[in-house]
Every structure is written in structure tokens, then in C-alpha cells.
């Protein structure tokens, strides 16, 4: 009999629900993708669970991640966000989120969407699942290419590792481990 264990999140109901119901499932829409890119950036150097616990506050203070609303943020908004203990108060990450909303609006102005650009980097599905995290890459050629393209289009705080984490979270790749209940359909 095969032992099953979540890829991550066992023991914390919020983390378990995120793993089981969200991670690796396709995410579409510019606001939803902007949120994931922002939160992956805020997570850099921290535990994902920390970000997950703060996600409701992030959604509130960043206008539900509506690109047009965030793109209008100014210096007063940065000061307001820096003073809000409910979120991760990192000026570079806050400013990158505002900048990335403006880059998303620029895509709209050019007749494109973040959704189209983001999903254009989805690789072909793999034939086999990873047996362990030791096998799983931190970056892929697709995440490197996505990072370069998003940076070319004005996005910040989206290096290849963050891009790959966003690809995993948004379902461009399915990195549930071979023994994960989600992968096994349980």
C-alpha cells in the first residue's frame, strides 16, 4: 500500500485547504494572476503560510488586486501600506506590486492581458510526477523565459524562481508529488 501525504500543509487547516483546493489549479484573470505574482513576491524569504495567513488583509489593502485601482496608488498609499501591520511591510515589494499593476494596465492599453502573457509560458504536461521535492526544479526554461518577458514588459520582483512558484500555484505546471492525495485523486 502506498503511503499518502500532502506535498505541504499537513497539520494546519488553512495550509491544507490551500494545498487541496487551490495550489496547482488553473488560475485565470488579470486580478487573480496579479495577486499570485504579488504574493509570491511577498513570500520571498518567508514561509508561504505567513503570506497565506495575511492574504485577506493583502486583498483588502490592495483593492482585491484590481490592476486599475492599484495602478492609481501613490506615495500616500505606499505610506499607508508601510504602516499596516496586517501585511508584510517591505517597501520594495509594495512598490513592485504597484508597478506590476501599472505594467498590467499597460498590457491592457496595448490590447493584451496578463492572462495571455502568463499562460503563453505553460509547458507541455510531464509524463511522470516528482517522487520528492529533491527532484523538483526551482526554475525551468519556461520560468526563465517568463521572468525575462515580464521584466521586458515592466514587471519587477519576478525572477525565475518566483515565476516558477507562480506557475506552480496557478496551475501552469502540476507539481503535486506522486504520493500526494491530490495527485492520486483522493
Rounded Cα distance, 117 and 128, in Å:
26
Burial 103-115 (b: 16+ CB within 10 A, else e): bbbebeeeeebbb
Identified catalytic residue from 15, 23, 35, 40: 40
95 as an active site residue: the answer is: no
Rounded Cα distance, 46 and 165, in Å:
13
16 as an active site residue: the answer is: no
Identified catalytic residue from 15, 18, 119, 164: 18
40 as an active site residue: the answer is: yes
DSSP string over 9-25: -TT-HHHHHHHHHTTTS
Identified catalytic residue from 15, 23, 35, 48: 48
**Residues classed as catalytic:** 18, 40, 48
Amino acid at each position: 500500500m502506498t503511503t499518502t501525504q500532502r506535498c505541504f500543509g499537513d497539520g494546519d487547516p488553512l495550509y491544507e485547504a490551500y494545498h487541496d483546493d487551490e495550489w496547482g489549479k488553473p488560475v485565470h484573470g488579470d486580478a487573480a494572476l496579479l495577486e499570485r505574482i504579488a504574493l509570491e513576491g511577498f513570500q520571498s524569504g518567508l514561509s508561504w503560510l505567513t503570506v497565506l495567513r495575511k492574504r485577506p488583509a493583502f486583498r483588502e489593502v490592495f483593492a482585491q488586486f484590481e490592476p486599475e485601482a492599484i495602478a492609481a496608488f501613490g506615495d500616500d498609499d505606499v505610506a499607508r501600506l508601510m504602516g499596516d501591520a496586517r501585511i508584510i511591510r517591505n517597501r520594495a515589494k509594495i512598490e513592485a506590486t504597484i508597478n506590476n499593476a501599472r505594467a498590467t494596465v499597460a498590457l491592457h492599453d496595448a490590447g493584451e492581458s496578463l492572462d495571455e502573457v502568463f499562460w503563453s509560458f505553460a509547458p507541455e504536461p510531464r509524463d511522470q510526477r516528482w517522487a520528492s521535492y529533491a527532484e523538483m526544479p526551482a526554475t525551468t526554461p519556461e520560468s526563465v523565459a517568463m521572468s525575462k518577458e515580464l521584466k521586458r514588459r515592466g514587471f519587477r520582483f519576478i525572477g525565475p524562481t518566483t515565476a516558477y512558484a507562480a506557475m506552480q500555484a496557478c496551475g501552469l505546471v502540476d507539481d503535486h508529488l506522486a504520493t500526494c492525495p491530490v495527485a492520486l485523486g483522493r
